Amino acid sequence: MSGATTSLELSVAATACRLRPEQWQRVRIVLVALALFGWVTSAWGWSQDTQQFHASYLVSFLYVATIGLGATLFVAIQHLTTAAWSVTSRRLMESIMITVLAAPALFIPVIRGLDVLYRWAQPGFFDPDDPNVAFKRVFFSPTFYESRMVVYFVVWCVLAWLLYQGSVGQDRHGGSMAAVVKLRRWSGPGVAALFVTVTSAAVDWVMSLEPYWYSTVFGIYVFAGGAVAFVAAIIILALGLRALGYLREWIHVEHYHDWGKWLFALSVFWAYLAYSQYMLMWYANLPEETAWYQVRLNGSWRWVSLTLAAGHFGVPFLGLMARRAKRSLPWLGAIAGWMLLMHWVDLHWLVMPTVHEHGFHLHWLDLSTWLAVGATAALVGWWVMGRHPLVPAGDLRLAESLEHHNE
Amino acid sequence: MAEVVLHSGGLNPPLVEGPTSFARITDDVCRIVENKPPRAWYVAMGISVTLTLILGVALYLLFTRGIGVWGNNQPVAWAFDITNFVFWIGIGHAGTLISAILFLFRQRWRTSINRAAEAMTIFAVICAGMFPLIHVGRPWRAYWLFPIPNPYIDMWPNFRSPLIWDVFAVSTYFTVSLLFWYTGLIPDLATLRDRARTKLARWAYGLLSLGWRGSARHWSAYEKAYLLLAGLSTPLVISVHSIVSFDFAVSILPGWHATIFPPYFVAGAIFSGFAMVITLLVIARRVYNLQHLITLHHLDNMNKILLATSLIVGYSYAVEFFTAFFSGNPYERFVFTNRAVGPYAWAIWTMVFCNVVVPQLLWFRRFRRSVPWMFVIAILVNIGMWFERFNIIVTSLHRDFLPSSWGSFRPTVVDFMTLAGSFGLFLTLFLLFLRFLPAVAMAEVKAVLPDGRQEVRA
């Protein structure tokens, strides 16, 4: 590729950049084995402790779904802003994004266990004579709830599919301004729809675990956490492929530097939202709001809360502030891996106090459901990664992206 | 690679249009300062100074008679004063966003608008800073806000109050914005010094340009300072309006206490700031023939940011409204119902129309690139964003928990004089800026010309 001077040669070099079939096959076998192991053990766990299964499963599902949705947001924003720097890593973003297609199927165990986890789903939970819960009674009625779920999944899958097809279409037919404009057109309304649906889903899936608690910023907080985890995931994915000998010239230190900036900026943004919510509730000290923090600041949950503040904010903030830190690939990889762990801690902290009020409690189902959901989603991403070049070969900005450097 | 660059011409539209050279850009910008201003400038200055004088009268009435000359009352203890404060602080957000955040995002198109936008930031913060001072009632004692040990009064600010955080946030923001603006000005001031035709001008610009000679060492120090100030300003853009939002959100008043307030206020501030930048630059580029520097492409991009922030603001309105009903809290529900259909419903729907409905036109390229349309939209956004703050403050205060203590707010003539006068002050400062300082960052625009970029790379 270093010899490529014309767009044609560059495009040819990009098209040739594919996963080697035997390597693809090997990873696929590993993923299938992990998924099978995860599903079988989780199923057994479900028969043993239904409530624990559903809580663990919800965390795992959210983990995968938020990363996929973070990827969808990122891909759409790249098209919307006609970004050049990120073009060489966009196919990896798209591979993470496409795992969203698995979300509707992966959601089945969640909806099957609604009444186990969500108190509002238990019959007769809301007093029909209480005017203050009249809105919630309608909002959480099965029909309305289920139609919302359908809307979410349709919006996400259609958007991910359109963005994906528009990009791989350029591999085959070559890039054109028409394709650029088309992708940008989908991305504008796409980002808007994504914001509304994801934040609303966060209310339905996470906030409503505590049926009387509310916070207006909550949806954005969950989405921001997903965006952080997505950036961490793409860094890990790119570094993993690099270790296997792929993409070394395509995604170079200048690109990693920018991904490092994103990881830094988004984890600060996440902390900003977390702090806004916490400080305002602490300050106002209203019992209906502080109850949520009360559980999380007592017993061993207190330590999880502190870990989250230090690990989800302090570590990337101090660890990625220096330019040199963002440009050191082993260091960046270590922080990214740490942030993937922190995203899990964040979701665990959001969900688990519902079932383990008195303290942090790690269960083996946390791992097995994570393996089941994670490996299944990874299989979807890996599947499509094997079918296309690892860089968007037809993209008009390929050369510009390759030349990218931080002044 | 050349072929590719050529091919993607549509992706990277030129940032400066028409036949341009470094000398031409210097001429185009400097002549604004060097030539006699056009008649439009005198007319605008006349109006602005008149309005500023009205502000003087309003302040005289306020200081001699007290807060009673305003419509403020119990329960509406905050009204136009704090509305204007938040409004102007919001206007002051575009400049630093363009200069700092767009700089960190490598948005090169920012270079021809950042200077004027930063100037607006500083003038808007001056206008904003005035309001908390005059609303304390005894502005000559406003220094009590600072933690100054004083044996006579035996008072100390309450550091748990966001009002005191505001004092520090706004003054820090002002200081850093001023430094940032001034740092950027130095090379351009030196250009004006070198071209000056009168002794006075040479002396004044010479003094301000701090002995700039444009040596490589100067540029290196300049670039470092610029990057550092950009990095420092970025958290400030977010912190100032977040802290302004805390003024409301830490309370337990329904309509004020919402966790989404910090990001929502920041987005609203950027929204209103961009609207003001568009409003003024659309006129300035025409009066001073700067259409080739501040191109339709720039305005198009700014309109996109306007649309994006409009959507965020609209989302926040929707989430607040939804949560009021979802929460099951009867007080929250009442406040939002009262907003929608109560005595101030007209103000709410003006706000929704101006901030959420009208900007949807900007989805279409035709509107984003039409100067008359964007001017109208930007003016409406300015109006809508003023009403947003008015609504937050007045509708939440006038009817709270106890119906027996409900009231209402009617602005007085002095209220309107102060509001109009603050616009006068802002515009006067801005017109003086256009008259005496380079309105476009010449050195930065040159760096984004094709020639400039090649030189940078070589």
The domain that contains B305 carries what CATH number? 1.20.1630.10
The closest alpha carbon to A37, from A378, A371, A381, A366, belongs to: A371
Q: Does B23 touch chain A (CB under 8 A)?
A: no
Place of tokens 């492409």: B297
Q: Does B3 touch chain A (CB under 8 A)?
A: yes
Q: Is the pLDDT of residue A103 over 70?
A: yes
**Which regions in chain B score pLDDT beneath 50?**
1-9, 455-458
Alpha carbon of B380: minimum distance to chain A alpha carbons (Å): 22
Which of residues 97 through 116 in chain B touch A, CB cutoff 8 A? 106
Q: Kindly report the CA angle at A142 between A141 and A145, in degrees rounded to 5?
A: 85
The closest alpha carbon to A73, from A237, A229, A179, A208, belongs to: A229
pLDDT at position B3: 34
Distance CA B260, CA B254 (A): 13
Amino acid at B399: R
The answer to the question of residue B413 being in a domain is yes
Contacts of A53 (CB under 8 A, 6+ apart): A42, A45, A46, A113, A365, A369
The closest alpha carbon to A191, from A218, A215, A223, belongs to: A223
CA dihedral angle for residue A357, residue A359, residue A364, residue A369, rounded to 10 degrees: 50
Rg (CA), chain A: 22
Number of H helices, E strands in chain B: 20, 0
Q: pLDDT band at A329, cuts 50/70/90?
A: very high
The answer to the question of residue B458 being in a domain is no
Residues of chain A positioned with their CB less than 8 A from the CB of B329: 132, 288
pLDDT at position B452: 61
Alpha carbon of B261: minimum distance to chain A alpha carbons (Å): 8
The answer to the question of residue B238 being in a domain is yes
pLDDT at position B192: 92
pLDDT at position B454: 54
Burial of A338 (0-12, 13-18, 19+ CB in 10 A): middle
Contacts of B149 (CB under 8 A, 6+ apart): none
Which of residues 323 through 352 in chain B touch A, CB cutoff 8 A? 323, 325-330
For residues A155-180, give the mean pLDDT.
Answer: 89
Alpha carbon of A196: minimum distance to chain B alpha carbons (Å): 8
Higher-confidence position of A152 and B114: A152
* Secondary structure element (H or E) that encloses residue A311, with its range: none
Nearest to B1 among A196, A284, A399 (CB): A399
Nearest to A399 among B4, B252, B456 (CB): B4
Does the ipTM surpass 0.95? no
pLDDT at position B4: 36
Residue from A73, A216, A258 to probe the interface with B (highest B Cβ count within 10 Å): A216
List, for residues B408-455, the tens digit of each pLDDT value.
Answer: 999 999 999 999 999 999 999 999 999 999 988 888 888 877 766 554
pLDDT at position A177: 85
Domain range for residue B73? 39-149+158-441
Distance CA B76, CA B72 (A): 6
In sign, the C-alpha dihedral spanning B143, B148, B154, B160 is: positive
Contacts of B67 (CB under 8 A, 6+ apart): B135, B137
The answer to the question of residue B432 being in a domain is yes
Amino acid at A173: H
For residues A191-214, give the mean pLDDT.
Answer: 95
Closest CA in chain B for residue A221: B260
Beta-carbon separation of B1 and A7 below 8 A: yes
Residue from B260, B297, B322 to probe the interface with A (highest A Cβ count within 10 Å): B260
Distance CA B378, CA B368 (A): 11
Query: Which of A12-26, A200-214, B362-376 is the least confident region?
Result: A12-26
The answer to the question of residue B347 being in a domain is yes
Q: What is the 3-state secondary structure (H, E, C) of B418-430?
A: HHHHHHHHHHHHH
Q: Where are the beta strands (DSSP E) in A225-376?
A: none
Alpha carbon of A296: minimum distance to chain B alpha carbons (Å): 18
Contacts of B321 (CB under 8 A, 6+ apart): B336, B340
Beta-carbon separation of B249 and A10 below 8 A: no
Single pTM value for the model: 0.94
Question: Total structural domains in chain B?
Answer: 1
The closest alpha carbon to B119, from B387, B347, B435, belongs to: B435
The first and second tokens of residue A27, run together, are 């990873």
| A141 to A123, A153, A207: CA distances (angstroms) | 10, 19, 16
Closest CA in chain B for residue A403: B1
DSSP, res B159? T
The first and second tokens of residue B44, run together, are 């605008």
Distance CA A386, CA A380 (A): 10
Would you kindly state where each structural domain of chain A is located, as residue ranges?
A: 3-402
* pLDDT above 70 as % of chain A: 99
Beta-carbon separation of A7 and B7 below 8 A: yes
DSSP, res B404? G
Region label for A174, one of left (φ > 0), alpha (ψ between -120 and 50) or beta (otherwise): left
The answer to the question of residue B65 being in a domain is yes
